[in-house]
Structure formats: C-alpha cells, structure tokens
C-alpha cells in the first residue's frame, strides 16, 4: 500500500474527507500537467479548503487540468457521507487512471494494484474508517496492530510482503509463487528489478518461525500478458531437497 500510485489515490480520498489537508492536496495538484510548485502556491489561497472554488479565479492557462479535478473532488465530497466507500474509491480511480497511464510505463501492472485497492474498500461501510485503517505511515502499522490485537486468539492474517516487514508468525503461506507473478514478468529484463523481487522473497520466507509453505498453481492464465503461467518461481531453484518437502496436490477424478 506504500506504492506511489496507491498513495496518489489515497491523497484524493483524504482531500475529499478533509479539504483542509494541504499536504494531500499539494500532492494531487502536482500530478496535473503544467502544474508546479509556484502554481500550487498561487492557488492555495484561492481554494482555502473549498473543493468547489470559483474556476474563474484560478489560472486560466491551467483550467484544463484544474477543472476536472475540482469537479470530481467537489462532487465526491457531497457524496462522501451517502455513497458506499467502494463507489467513492471507484470514482477516484476512474479519474486517476489517465494520470496513471501518462505517468508510468508499467501502468498495466499498477492498475492491478488499484483493482485490489478498490476491492479492499468493499470491506468497509465508512470511507473514513477505511482510510484510517490503511495506516500508510508507517506502512506496516495496520498489520502489526491487527497481529497484536489477535495475539491471544487463533487468527488468519492476510498481508502484503511489504506490510509484513518486521513481523513473524508461527506458520506462513506464500501464495502464487509462479514465474511471471513472483517474480513479476516485468522484472525479467531488469537485473535491478529482479534483485528487488528476490529481496521481497527473502523478506517473505523469513516471516515464518516454524512452518513455511510456498504454493503455486499447476497452471494459470494471465489476462494482462495473454499467456499461461505454469513454471514454479525461479527463486525456488537450487533449494536443497533436504530442507524442501515437495507436495503435489491434484483434484480427484
């Protein structure tokens, strides 16, 4: 959840909840084409926490970027107490998607994160609670808090690898360890990105105190790449058989 594109979406949501959040508002203004620090400084006194400012008072040469933003924020601010969180999140993502495509070469990969983020919002009935529970600073706070809260009970914790940093569990399941997903196909041609994914695998495997399970499908279809993924993660290659017990689970006919 600490990736830049997720933080961009969260910044929009925070401004909808609190128009006086200058830090979040500055972040989303700087995403706009032609808007820099000087423009932000000039329009902040005009906005003054109003998500429906008089567009005529804003710099005319920036109106093409500013008008859609404030139309979206103002409308969603009105709906924030009556619409479901996922409806607000979906609207923000739809507005943000063209920015994502313009800003990132790997936007198709990042879009999956946005889809997952939108799904997470369906678990909440209140947008403010959703944003509060994300606890992006520090990124592992929400998982850690959940872990402590349930420390006396048997509980299943679902976590990203990033959010699990510094935490341990008796048993850990790493799912989807198939080449093309972990590591991502986008890292195949970049030594730097491959090293980063290997580091993430190290973080994931060292979260387990006693039992570590690494699972992967026999085959799976990846719609974004239009191909079937069937090879276990290359990160499993070279692990000695004496510490790796292999199980093949198939459906009975």
Q: Which domains does the chain have, with CATH numbers?
A: 4-136 (1.10.486.10), 161-236 (3.30.160.800)
Q: What is the pLDDT of residues 98-145, one digit of tens each?
A: 999 888 888 888 888 888 888 888 888 889 888 887 754 433 334 444
- Rounded to 5°, angle at Cα 137 from 131 and 141: 85
Separation of alpha carbons 218 and 232, rounded Å:
9
Q: What is the pTM of this model?
A: 0.54
Q: Cα–Cα distances in Å, from 102 out to 5, 12, 162, 251?
A: 12, 18, 26, 44
Distance of alpha carbon 218 from alpha carbon 7, whole angstroms: 34
Query: For residue 244, with 0-12 CB atoms within 10 Å meaning exposed, 13-18 middle and 19 or more buried, which class applies?
Result: exposed
pLDDT for the residue 32:
87
- Between these two residues, 35 and 62, which has the higher pLDDT value? 35
220-222 and 208-214 as β-strands: parallel, antiparallel, unpaired? unpaired
pLDDT of residue 150: 46
Q: What is the pLDDT of residues 53-102, one digit of tens each?
A: 777 777 776 777 788 888 889 989 888 888 899 999 999 999 999 999 88
Other CB atoms within a 10 A radius of the CB of residue 183 amount to 22
- Residue 15 has a pLDDT of 92
Residue 225 has pLDDT above 70, yes or no: no
Q: How far apart are CA 173 and CA 202, in angstroms?
A: 13
The CA radius of gyration of the chain, in Å to the nearest whole number, is 22
Asked if pLDDT for residue 156 goes beyond 80, the answer is no
Q: How many angstroms separate the CA atoms of 31 and 135, rounded?
A: 22
Express each pLDDT in 173-187 by its tens digit. Answer: 998 888 888 888 778
Helix (H) or strand (E) holding 57: none
pLDDT at 14 over 50: yes
Within 13 A of 253's CA, how many CA atoms are on the CB side?
Answer: 0
């Amino acid at each position: 959840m600490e990736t830049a594109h997720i933080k961009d979406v969260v910044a929009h949501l925070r401004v909808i909840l609190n128009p006086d959040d200058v830090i979040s508002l500055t972040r989303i203004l700087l995403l706009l084409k032609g808007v820099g620090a000087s423009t932000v400084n000039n329009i902040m006194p005009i906005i003054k926490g109003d998500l429906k400012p008089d567009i005529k008072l804003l710099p005319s040469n920036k109106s093409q970027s500013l008008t859609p933003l404030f139309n979206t924020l103002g409308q969603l601010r009105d709906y924030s107490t009556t619409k479901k969180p996922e409806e607000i999140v979906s609207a923000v993502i739809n507005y943000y998607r063209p920015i994502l495509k313009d800003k990132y070469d790997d936007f198709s990969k990042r879009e999956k994160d946005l889809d997952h983020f939108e799904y997470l919002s369906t678990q909440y009935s209140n947008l403010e609670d959703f944003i509060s529970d994300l606890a992006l600073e520090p990124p592992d706070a929400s998982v850690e808090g959940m872990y402590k809260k349930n420390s006396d009970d048997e509980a299943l914790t679902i976590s990203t690898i990033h959010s699990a940093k510094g935490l341990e569990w008796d048993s850990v399941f790493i799912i989807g360890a198939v080449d093309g997903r972990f590591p991502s196909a986008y890292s195949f041609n970049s030594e730097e990105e491959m090293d980063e994914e290997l580091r993430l695998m190290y973080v994931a495997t060292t979260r387990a105190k006693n039992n570590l399970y690494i699972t992967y499908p026999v085959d799976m279809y990846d719609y974004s790449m239009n191909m079937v993924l069937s090879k276990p993660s290359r990160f499993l290659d070279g692990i000695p058989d004496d510490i790796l017990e292999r199980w093949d689970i198939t459906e009975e006919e």
